């Protein structure tokens, strides 16, 4: 990330920390060029105030920074046309000759681009209620089902490797 963008994000972070300091439970997580503002531990009475404060801060940066909403998290990220779906496509370009089956699991709106990118090329799994709209191929209800799914994938792989070596 260009040093000017780093300085801007640092300033945005400081401004938000100052503006939101009276609200308990907010967690700021720096992820390189992205700042995640987690508010799942914030008292419910502040749920609408947090996004309003972030949106107000980003008004002065609207040509350079934007906000993306997730599950009780707001991401402040640079204005760009890059998302998880494009990341998945870039990764797929590098591994197409390896005969791999890509599997993508996600539990948030920010994962939908990746689900779309995998259509017909892999397996996409949304973690959460199947009643929520999603581009994912499959649904798992919770982390217990994710653990079971991954265990079964490991078993299939183990058996497949064992069988493929037999003559």
pLDDT reported for residue 164: 57
Q: Is residue 133 assigned to a domain?
A: yes
Q: Are residues 113 and 70 in the same domain?
A: no
* Residue 107 vs residue 161, higher pLDDT: 107
Rounded mean pLDDT of the chain?
Answer: 89
Instruction: Confirm whether 84 is domain-assigned.
Output: no
Expressed as residue numbers, the domain containing 135 is 97-164
Evaluate whether 43 touches 24 at the Cβ level (below 8 Å): yes
pLDDT tens-digit map of 112-149: 999 999 998 899 999 999 888 999 999 999 999 999 99
Predicted pLDDT at 22: 94
Domain count, the chain: 2
Whether residue 136 sits in one domain with residue 101: yes
Q: Which of 146, 144, 128 has the alpha carbon at shortest distance from 136?
A: 128
Same domain, 159 and 130: yes
pLDDT of residue 167: 44
Tokens of 104: 């993508």
**CA–CA distances in Å: residue 121 to residues 95, 149, 161:** 12, 19, 21
Answer yes or no: do 29 and 68 share one domain. yes
In a domain, 71, yes or no: yes
Higher per-residue confidence, 146 vs 31: 146
Q: Are both 70 and 118 inside the same structural domain? A: no
154: tokens are: 């490991």
* pLDDT tens per residue, range 80-103: 877 889 889 988 888 766 778 899
**92 domain residue, yes or no:** no
User: Is 88 part of any domain?
Assistant: no
Residue 104 has pLDDT above 80, yes or no: yes
Here the CATH number for the domain that contains residue 36 is 3.30.70.1020
58 and 27 co-located in one domain: yes
**Is residue 91 situated within a structural domain?**
no
Say whether pLDDT at 47 is over 80: yes
pTM for this predicted structure: 0.64
């Amino acid at each position: 990330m260009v040093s000017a963008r780093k300085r801007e994000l640092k300033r945005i972070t400081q401004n938000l920390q100052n503006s939101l300091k009276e609200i308990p439970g907010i967690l700021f997580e720096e992820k390189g060029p992205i700042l995640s503002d987690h508010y799942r531990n914030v008292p419910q009475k502040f749920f609408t105030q947090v996004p309003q404060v972030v949106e107000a801060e980003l008004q002065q940066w609207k040509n350079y920074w934007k906000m993306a909403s997730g599950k009780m998290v707001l991401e402040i990220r640079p204005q760009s046309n890059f998302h998880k779906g494009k990341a998945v496509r870039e990764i797929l370009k590098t591994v197409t000759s390896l005969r791999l089956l890509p599997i993508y699991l996600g539990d948030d709106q920010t994962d939908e681009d990746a689900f779309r990118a995998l259509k017909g090329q892999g397996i996409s799994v949304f973690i959460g209620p199947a009643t929520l709209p999603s581009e994912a191929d499959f649904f798992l209800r919770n982390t217990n089902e994710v653990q079971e799914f991954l265990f079964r994938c490991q078993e299939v792989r183990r058996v497949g490797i064992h069988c493929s070596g037999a003559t």
